[in-house]
Structure 1
Amino acid sequence: MEIAGYRFPNALALAPMAGVTDRVFRRVCRGFGASVTVGEMVSARSELRDTRKSRLRLDFSGEPAPRIIQIAGGDAADLAAAARVNADAGADIIDINMGCPAKKVCRKAAGSALMADIDHVGRILDAVVAASPVPVTLKMRTGVSADRINAVAIAKMAERAGIAALAVHGRTRDQHYRGVAEYDTIAAVVAAVSIPVWANGDVDSVARAREVRAATGAAGLMIGRAACRRPWLFRQIAAAAEGRPPVAEPGLADEAEIVLGLVEQVHDFYGEEQGVRVARKHIGWLCERRAPHPALYMDLMTAATAARQIRLLDRYFDAVNLAA
């Protein structure tokens, strides 16, 4: 896949996820083979640009190009200004969020709620592309609800406006993350436009990746929740697509090194108090894949210091090893 001169050899992208795809996690996923990583969405509202949360979300220090920043909002002028400001600050690509189904985002007529008003979508696309000195991409869903599927119409509008690439999540806004993603609409989008399209939704294994590519004809795959639990999935999918020998799941010792390294970096990035809270999400995803050890899990979820969290993680992996 190529977008505006940037080449992505395996076309595997880490989906932007608020509260997850910070600089630390992006680095981990690139290390496991993701060729595209997108930052967490940042508000287009000017008064929120200089908050600590926004500064952390816009921290791309030490990362290779392209640095992709996702902007969210409901006002065309705000989004256009945000695109220009973030490009001037170093973004190589601006991504517009029309995919987030979270209530707090949709209540502000942003994210996937925007897809309910196709005329307003057109105004936003035209304004952002005109204002941005760097390429603009769009992430969206299939529609607002099952009876209002309009991704193809929006995709055509986006291409006319000058959008450089699309990512389509195979669910409607009202599905949130429930049910099973469908790929027929993504295939219809791919057939309707000439710009690259990423297929997103339920890509959680090598076999599913193969199925989604075949079903959609998409130029690339975008992986979200599955990468939180198994960031090495990128490497496994890439190996299969390139005809290389299968990449095994990491052994327990390797997984412990990966998780402990990630948690320590999260502590450093956010500072101890916030870092411990953010790390709990990653620890929770880990515990979905391993033996529960309820008492240890509860201790991990309530640990208040970085040192205690690391110490308990060590104990957790020791317990898993003993149970094996």
Structure 2
Amino acid sequence: MVDEGVSAESKDNMTSRLTYVGKLILAPMVRVGTLPMRLLALDYGADIVYCEELIDHKLLRSTRVENEVLGTVDFVLDDGTIVFRTCEKEKDTVVLQMGTSDPQRALEVAKLVENDVAGIDVNMGCPKDYSCKGGMGAALLTQPEKVKQILTTLVQGCCKPVTCKMRLLPKMEDTIDLVKIMESTGVSAIGVHGRKKEERPRHDVNCDAIKLISKSVSVPVIANGGSSQIIKTFEDIEEFRNLSGASSVMVAREAQWNPSIFRREGKLPINNVIKDYLKYAVDYDNQFSNSKYCLQQLMVGRSLEPEAKALLKAKTLRELCEVWSMEVYFDSVIAARQKAEDLRKQRVEAVKKRKLDDGSTLYTIEIRYNKKNFSPMTTPKLILGEWCRDNLLDPPVYSMEEHTVHRLYQATVNVDKDYFSSSCWEKSKRAAEHNAAIVCLRIKSVYDGLLEHEHSKKNAREEKRMTEKTNKQTTKTRWEHTECKPGGPFR
């Protein structure tokens, strides 16, 4: 059944966001398809990126957490293990691939993540024992009724496009029968790895089989399995698509070794790619062991190079950065992250939240804009306006409350359906609006223009020094105008 909270019209609008015709796709790869590699593939030209296969049981044990400091959405286990991490940059292009053998568990996973991903995929092609023994992956290829149940349940109950990825069956007629069953469920596309369950990369990919499947169904077919044998350059991706007659192409191993395979201008030198990867690994606090593994894949065939030997010895993410002379970048990001975390803790302690009648939230912090403590190049209002524009949000809308007796002002700003205000009153409307903008920026974990802490302390020290100097001058002047001076009554 379709979720009652999602109308048919709304469902059509949401599922139309991601299509699978004429696309370059990063394939789901165990340990490789984590956030840094997905973002890197998008930067280099991929249209859609699949995460690594995630098992339904594990996802259902996780809790969705909005990580304000990193700007990510994390699905986290009780012990702190991050099962899946994503961010706004890939929201309209990332597909979550799940390993499942049960329709209802599959739907629970889809409902858990559907607001944070662009599509849902069911793995029906993994030949590994850990997947097949659980009735998942390629084990589903011989269970057409279960395939139909899982896909039908997902298509009818999820508001995002549903796809599946399969391998070839021993007999071509059985393969065609199965893909027709898949098509009948309403899936948006079918990914086909052109090899049988027992075949490995050393075996030739069967382009003719993929072509026959493409002609047998009306939904887009995504060709997979062409790395090395056919795909070695960007131009080869199109050749593989033509040979297989598919709508789109999914690249695995060639992208694992160098994700700039998606660049129309040609692949980049591997050290450039590694530096780009490390930036994302640092920016999104990627797990050290996973980052090291991905770098080892990028260094395949280069084991004698000095960087490869240093890579093996690295024991922290910073040491990985040192290998490619990026430790300064690492240190600057960590320092900025610590500052953001400190601000977040201060905000959490001080923020007051109130639900309004329309379902929105009013956030209030006791905070005041002091011009000398903020960057002279910009203002909180300008920063907030630019942030809204960059995130495709409506411009901030300010409203003003006036204290008629004392002629003081307090502003509230409406951003993304919520309201933000400072509890401080100001003498000018402009300062009141800056107060509200600062509250919004800090709630959103966006830099508001406040100068570095040490600079602020310097201003405070300078202000104190000038105050003491003024007090001394005042005292001296008063002394000179009294009779308490040499020769006076108190000599």
Tell me the TM-score range normalised by the shorter chain: 0.7 to 0.9
Over residues 274-319 of structure 1, what are the superposed CA-to-partner deviations in whole Å (9 max), with x where a residue is unaligned? 32x11222322232244x326753441231122322223459xxxx
Note closer, same or farther for the CA distance 1:49–1:152 as it changes in structure 2 (3 Å cut).
Answer: farther
Count of paired positions: 293
CA distance in 2, matches of 1:220, 1:117: 26
CA distance in 1, matches of 2:50, 2:165: 11
- Report whether the alignment pairs 1:225 with 2:253: yes
**Structure ID, larger Rg:** 2
Identify which of 168, 180, 191 aligns with 1:156.
180
Note closer, same or farther for the CA distance 1:48–1:167 as it changes in structure 2 (3 Å cut).
Answer: same
Note closer, same or farther for the CA distance 1:9–1:150 as it changes in structure 2 (3 Å cut).
Answer: closer
SS in 1 for 2:262: helix
SS in 1 for 2:204: coil
Matches within 5 A, 1:1-324: 4-7=16-19, 10-45=22-57, 47-50=60-63, 51-52=76-77, 55-87=82-114, 89-143=115-169, 146=170, 150-203=174-227, 204-206=231-233, 208-236=236-264, 247-251=265-269, 255-270=270-285, 274-275=287-288, 277-290=289-302, 292-293=303-304, 297-314=308-325
> Is the 1:43–1:49 contact (alpha carbons within 8 Å) kept by the matching residues of 2?
no
Note closer, same or farther for the CA distance 1:289–1:228 as it changes in structure 2 (3 Å cut).
Answer: same
> Is the 1:4–1:164 contact (alpha carbons within 8 Å) kept by the matching residues of 2?
no
> Is the 1:101–1:176 contact (alpha carbons within 8 Å) kept by the matching residues of 2?
no
Over residues 191-222 of structure 1, what are the superposed CA-to-partner deviations in whole Å (9 max), with x where a residue is unaligned? 01111111011232245424322222111111
Higher helix share: 1
Structure 1 match to 2:371: none
CA distance in 1, matches of 2:172, 2:215: 19
Relative contact order higher in (CA < 8 Å, ≥ 6 apart): 1
TM-score, normalising length: structure 2: 0.55
Over residues 252-280 of structure 1, what are the superposed CA-to-partner deviations in whole Å (9 max), with x where a residue is unaligned? xxx42321231243244345xx32x1122
- 1:58 deviates by 4.2
CA distance in 2, matches of 1:60, 1:13: 18
Identical aligned pairs, as a percentage?
Answer: 24
- 1:181 deviates by 1.5
CA distance in 2, matches of 1:305, 1:249: 28
CA distance in 1, matches of 2:273, 2:17: 33
> Is the 1:199–1:221 contact (alpha carbons within 8 Å) kept by the matching residues of 2?
yes
The one-letter code of the counterpart of 1:85 is L
> Is the 1:40–1:57 contact (alpha carbons within 8 Å) kept by the matching residues of 2?
no
TM-score, normalising length: structure 1: 0.80
CA distance in 2, matches of 1:156, 1:175: 23
SS in 2 for 1:174: coil
The one-letter code of the counterpart of 1:250 is L
Note closer, same or farther for the CA distance 1:213–1:92 as it changes in structure 2 (3 Å cut).
Answer: closer
CA distance in 2, matches of 1:40, 1:176: 19
CA RMSD of aligned residues (A): 2.7
Note closer, same or farther for the CA distance 1:86–1:308 as it changes in structure 2 (3 Å cut).
Answer: closer
Note closer, same or farther for the CA distance 1:148–1:249 as it changes in structure 2 (3 Å cut).
Answer: closer
> Is the 1:39–1:58 contact (alpha carbons within 8 Å) kept by the matching residues of 2?
no
> Is the 2:20–2:247 contact (alpha carbons within 8 Å) kept by the matching residues of 1?
no
Note closer, same or farther for the CA distance 1:79–1:32 as it changes in structure 2 (3 Å cut).
Answer: same
Over residues 110-154 of structure 1, what are the superposed CA-to-partner deviations in whole Å (9 max), with x where a residue is unaligned? 0121112222212222222222122211111113xx358733222
Q: Gapped runs of 5+ residues in structure 2?
A: 1-14, 64-75, 327-491
Note closer, same or farther for the CA distance 1:283–1:209 as it changes in structure 2 (3 Å cut).
Answer: same
The one-letter code of the counterpart of 1:159 is E
CA distance in 2, matches of 1:314, 1:181: 40
CA distance in 2, matches of 1:216, 1:135: 23
> Is the 1:42–1:54 contact (alpha carbons within 8 Å) kept by the matching residues of 2?
no
CA distance in 1, matches of 2:207, 2:189: 18
